A and B are shown apart, each in its own frame.
Chain A
Amino acid sequence: MTTRSHHAVAMRATAIHAGYPGVPVLHGASIEVAAGEMVAIVGPNGAGKSTLLRVLGGSIEPDAGSVDLFGRPLSSVDRREFARTVASVRQENAVAFRFTVMEIVLMGRAPHLGAFRFESPHDVEIASAALERFDLRDLAGRHVQELSGGERKRVFLARALAQEPKIALLDEPTAFLDLKHVAEIFARFRELCAERGMAVVATLHDLNAAALYADRVLLLADGAAVACGTPAEVLTAENLRRVYETDVYVGRNPSTGALIVLPAAIPNVRD
C-alpha cells in the first residue's frame, strides 16, 4: 500500500513548536507526507492534531521549527501559489450569506484567477468534476445553509478539490458522519492519491479509519510524536494504552484481516 519510497516528499514539518498566545501546544512535533500518500494524525483530545495541521496549512506560524513545501521553506512561497498547492478543509465550515453549493465550490478556483476575472468554462468544468466526485451534482443550485452536516462537509471537500491542490489537509474530515459517508470520503481521497499523486494529511479521532485507510499514522501526545509508521507499527495496544490512558483491544477483523481497535471492556460497567 505504501507509495512513499517512490515519491518526493511533498511537505515536511520538522521539530515544530507552536500554539496560541500563552498556550503552547506543540513541543517538537515532526511530520512528513509524500506525494500519493495518505498520512493520519491521531492522538487524544488536546494532543495538538489540529494545531499541527494548521501549521502545515500556514494559518499558524510556528515559534520554532521549519516547514517546507516540495523542499522550499514556507516563507519563500507566495500566498496565492501556496493556495494553488495546498488545500485545507477545517472542522467547522460556517458560511455567511446564502451562497449556492456551486458558488462555494467555484471559490476553490480563486487562487487560479486574477482580479476581475470570471471563472472560465475550464474552471466550471473543474468545479463540476469536483461536485461529481463527491456526489453533489443534484445539490449544485442549493444553498449551503439548507444542507445536512454530511452534505455540507462534502461541499467543502469538493471546494478543496477544485483548488487542484497537490496536498490536501483535512481536519477530522469524517467527524459526525455515518458509516457510508466515512467510507465514501476515504475512498475518494484514496482515488485522488492514486490518480493524481495527491498527498493527504488528515487528523482523525477514529483509529479504525486510520488503520483502514492511511498509509502511515502519526501518533501525537502532548504536542510531540509518540510513534510514526504504518498503522500496524503505530496502533499497538501498548502505544494506545499509554497515550490514551485507557485499556484497549487491538486485533484483526476475522473476515478481512484489517487492524481493528476497540475499547477494552470495563468490568461491572453495567451493574
Chain B
Amino acid sequence: MNASAGKPVEAAHLTRTRLFSVLGTLTILLIVCAIAGLLFGTAHISLVRAWSETASADHAILFGARLPRVLMGVIVGAALAAVGTALQALVRNPLAEGGILGISGGGALGAILALVFAAKIGGGEATVPACAFVAALTSTVAVYRLAMVDGQLEPFTLLLVGVIFNAFWGAAIMLVNSVVNFYYTHSILFWLMGSLEAPTYGEVAMVAILGLAGFLVLMYHARDMNLLSLGDESAAELGVDVDRLRRIIFIATSIMIGAAVSVSGIISFVGLIVPHTLRLAFGPDHRLLLPASLIGGGAFMVAADLLARVAIAPSEIPVGAITALCGGPFFIYMLRREGRKPLSL
C-alpha cells in the first residue's frame, strides 16, 4: 500500500535472522556451560591425560562420570524449560511450570511406585519412565479439569490446585517411603530432592529421545501457542483446534516430564526461571521462545549442577535444591508483579 510501510515495523516482529542469531548466541552459552561442567568438579583432572590415557583416573572421571552427567543436565534442563514454556502458553500464565502444577510430583510418585513394584511385577527398563509418564499425564489432566470453572480456565485456581497436588504427591511419596523397605529410601529421597547423580549413557539416550520427540511436537504447534495468547475463542477463530492443541500439549509435556523425572527426580523452578527470563529478553513469540528455552534450559541446568557439585565440595548439594533456592524468591517476585498487573507478562 505504502512503499515505506514495511520498514519501521520490521523490528517489531520475529524474523528468521533474529531467530537464528538468538539461538546461535544461546548455543554458544550452552557450550561454554557444558565445557565448564566437564572441566570443573571435586577432583582436578587433566583433559590431555583423560583423552590420551584411557586407563587413567582422569579418563574414568571425564567419560564415566562428568560427561554423562553434563549431557543429562543439558537434556533434563532443556526438557523442563521447554515444558514450562508450553504450559505457560497453554494456561496463558507465566507462573505455570511442571513442578508448580504438580505434574513433576505425580511423575515422581509414578516412578517410585514403578521402582518399588517393578521387582515384583518384573517390568523391563522402560517401566519406570512409562509409569512416570502415565502418572504425570493423569496429574496434568486432573489439575486442569479441577481448575476449569464454567468451561473457562481460571489461572489462579489452576495454580492453587497445582500447589495442592504438588503437596499431595509429596505426602504420598513420603507415605510410600515409610512403608517400603529401607533399601528404597535413598532412591526416594533422591527423587524428592532432584539430582543428576550418576546417570548411565543408556538413561541419557532414553531421556534425549523422549525429550526431543516431545519437543518436536511442541515446536510444530509453536505458532498455535502464540494464537492461544489471544484466548481460546480467538485462537479457534484463527483456525486452531484448541481442544486438540491442549491434548497434544498435555501428552507431549507429560512425556517430557515423565522422562526427566524418571532419571532426575523433581527439579523445580527451571521451567519457570528460564522461559520468563528469555521472554523478557527476546519477546513471547513461541517459535523463538520454545527453542530458546530448550537451549537456555540446558545451559542453566548444567551451570546449576556445577554449582551443586563444587559449592561445598567434597559434599554435594542436590541440584533440585539449587534451582529451588534460586526459584523460590524468583517465583515470589513474579507473583507480586502479577498481583499488580494480572496476566500481562
Contacts and interface: CB of A to CB of B under 8 A. Distances in A.
Q: Do A and B come from one complex?
A: yes
Interface of A: 57-59, 79-80, 82-84, 86-88, 90, 93-104, 106-108, 110-111, 113, 115-116, 118-119, 121, 124-125, 127-129, 131-133, 137, 140-141, 145, 163
Interface stretch (B9-17, B33-41, B310-318): B9-17
Interface string B266-297: 00000000000001000111010000000000
Interface of B is mostly: loop
B53 interface: no
Contacts of A113: 223
Contacts of A133: 1
Q: Sorted from nearest, which 8 A-B pairs have the closest CB atoms?
A: A96-B92, A97-B284, A83-B239, A102-B12, A140-B9, A128-B5, A129-B1, A80-B239
B17 to A, nearest CB: 10
Nearest to A143: B344
Interface string B334-345: 000000010111
B233 A90 contact: yes
B321 interface: no
Nearest to B225: A97
Given A95-B230, A129-B2, A103 B93 contact: no
Contacts of B285: 99, 103
A98 B9 contact: no
B202 interface: no
A58 B241 CA distance: 12
A98 B239 contact: no
Contacts of A101: 12
Contacts of B345: 96-98
A107 B230 contact: yes
Nearest to A79: B239
Interface residue tally on B, bucketed by range: 35 or more
Contact of A94 (B231, B241, B287): B231
Contact of B237 (A58, A103, A124, A127): A58
A124 B5 CA distance: 9
Nearest to A140: B9
A121 B13 CA distance: 12
B223 A115 contact: yes
B183 interface: no
Given A80-B239, A83-B237, A107-B230, A97 B223 contact: no
B229 A96 contact: yes
A59 B9 contact: no
Nearest to B92: A96
A103 B283 CA distance: 10
Most chain A beta-carbon neighbours within 10 Å: one of B11, B94, B234, B240:
B234
Contacts of B65: none
B12 A103 contact: yes
A113 B8 CA distance: 23
Given A121-B6, A132-B5, A145-B344, A100 B13 contact: yes
B226 interface: yes
Given A102-B9, A128-B1, A140-B12, A108 B238 contact: yes
A110 B227 contact: yes
Contacts of A95: 229-230
A141 B12 contact: yes
B158 to A, nearest CB: 13
A57 B237 contact: yes
Contacts of A87: 237
B221 interface: yes
Interface string B77-88: 000000000000
B326 interface: no
B156 to A, nearest CB: 14
B182 interface: no
A61 to B, nearest CB: 12
B238 A111 contact: yes
Given A88-B234, A90-B233, A140-B12, 6 more contacts: A97-B94, A98-B279, A113-B223, A119-B13, A124-B6, A141-B12
